[in-house]
Structure 1
C-alpha cells in the first residue's frame, strides 16, 4: 500500500500542469488561434492548399494573406511554458525549433492564392493567460519546393 502512494505522488505531480492546461484551455483566443493557424500532421504537408483552406476556415475569407503552421498541437501549446510550473504571460517568445509554414497570399483581386512553403522560425505572442494567441514575426530559413 505504501509503495502505491510513493508512486502515485510523483505521477500526480507530473500530471498537475496538464490539468491546468485542461482547465484554462477554454481560452477563446487560444482556440481561435489553433482553428485558424494549425494544420494537422494527419495529412501530408503538400496536400494542404491555400485556395481550399482560405475558403473553408471561418474568418479567413476576406483576408489578403495568412500563415498556417504544420506541427503537432502540443508543440504549439508548450511554447509559452517558461518552466513546468510557470508560463510566459503577455510576452513575445521565439520558438526554439523551426516549423513547416504554409504562407498564403491573395492574387490580385480574385479569390485564388499563391502558396509559399518554408521552414521558418516563428515569434509568438503569449496571452495574459499564458497561451499562444498570435504570430508576431517569422524568419524564413529555407523554402520548400513542392
Structure 2
C-alpha cells in the first residue's frame, strides 16, 4: 500500500493472498498421526514398491501447500516456455476476479452510515472537500 492507502495494487493483493495462505499452512505445521505416518500401509505395500497410486497418498497429498500463482518449476524451464512472472500472473488473476465478481449490494442504511463515517473522517483530516474540525 502506498500513499496512506490511496494507491492500491490489486496484483499485489492477489500475491499477498497466496503468501498468507503459504504462511498459514506453515504455521499450522505438519500433522503427525497414524494416518499421515501410514506405517500400516508401508507394511502392506512393502519395500521397493510405489505408494503414489494408493488411496492414502491421494488423501494426504491434499495437506500440502499449493499456492495458486506460484510456479514451482525451474526458472530456466519457465523462461524457455515463455511463462509470465509472478506479478504478471497475479495482475491477470486480479483482472479476472474483478471481471467476474458480482458483489452483494449493501443495505441502503449501511451505505448511508459508511458515507457518514467517510465524511466525518475527511472533515477531520481536511481532505475530500470536508473542512477540518476545530481540534
Please give the TM-score of this superposition, normalised by the length of structure 1. Answer: 0.20
> Which is richer in helix?
2
Give the number of the structure whose alpha-carbon radius of gyration is greater: 2
Provide TM-score, normalisation by structure 2. Answer: 0.22
**Structure number with higher strand proportion:** 1
Higher relative contact order (CA 8 A, sep 6+): 2
